[in-house]
Each structure stands twice: as C-alpha cells, then as structure tokens.
Amino acid sequence: GAVVSQHPSRVICKSGTSVKIECRSLDFQATTMFWYRQFPKKSLMLMATSNEGSKATYEQGVEKDKFLINHASLTLSTLTVTSAHPEDSSFYICSASSFGRAEAFFGQGTRLTVV
C-alpha cells in the first residue's frame, strides 16, 4: 500500500506555544488529506479535510483558528496547533487519499502533550 509519513511521532510543548505536525505522502500524490484526533480508547474524530491548494474544510466544533491546516503541495499537509493548552493533548493522525481512490492511508500518528 501507499506510504504516509507523519512527523513528529511525539511532542511535548509548553502551554501557550504552537506546534506543527507534518504529514507527507511518500509515494503518491495526495489530492486530499484528512486530520483526525483520537482520544484514549475512542474512535477517530475527523477535524478537517484539506484539498491541495484550497482552504481546509473544518468539521463542526473544530476551531479553525486554533488548528491551522495547510496543504500547499500534493505530498505535504501540516497541522499547526496554535497557543496550545493541556486540553489539546491528544493523539493526532493524518490520512491521505488521491483522486479516484476509495481508501485512505494513514500516518503513524503524533502524540501531543501540552504541559
């Protein structure tokens, strides 16, 4: 299957700072990337959908000014958690899909801890 690389796998940051998470499709062009948040022992909550070159579409209840998503190329999307607070601590996962494909491929996830 296709490979999606997410970096970093773990990050600890101080409250009030910003953190950037990268999601790269290594061997295919990702026309669409998705960002999820996963709480402990819970399913994945879709945060936003981004299409290359367009503004991201956020799900209801997700603060777009707090979770900045950029999808500037067909192989890279970034999620920036701005002014992070302890309640933003979570497991964030990206996935990537391409035109005409039914399935999405997932990154390894990023464990964010805000202290």
In the complex, least distance from residue 72 CB atom to another protein, rounded to whole angstroms: 15
In angstroms, the CA 10 to CA 15 distance is 16
For another protein, what does the binding mask look like between residues 54 and 83, x meaning CB under 8 A? ------------------------------
Residue selected from 21, 24, 32, 88 as contacting another protein according to rule CB under 8 A: 32
Q: Does 108 bind another protein (CB under 8 A)?
A: yes
From the list 76, 68, 81, the residue with the least C-alpha distance to 13 is: 81
Residue selected from 21, 34, 37, 56 as contacting another protein according to rule CB under 8 A: 34
In angstroms, the CA 93 to CA 114 distance is 17
Q: Does 43 bind another protein (CB under 8 A)?
A: yes
Length of the chain: 115
DSSP strands (E only) in 1-115 = 4-7, 10-13, 19-25, 32-38, 44-51, 57-58, 67-73, 76-81, 90-97, 105-106, 110-114
Q: Does 30 bind another protein (CB under 8 A)?
A: yes
Q: Does 104 bind another protein (CB under 8 A)?
A: yes
Give the footprint of another protein on this chain (CB under 8 A). Answer: 1, 4, 6, 30-32, 34, 41-44, 46, 49, 51-52, 91, 93, 95-109, 111
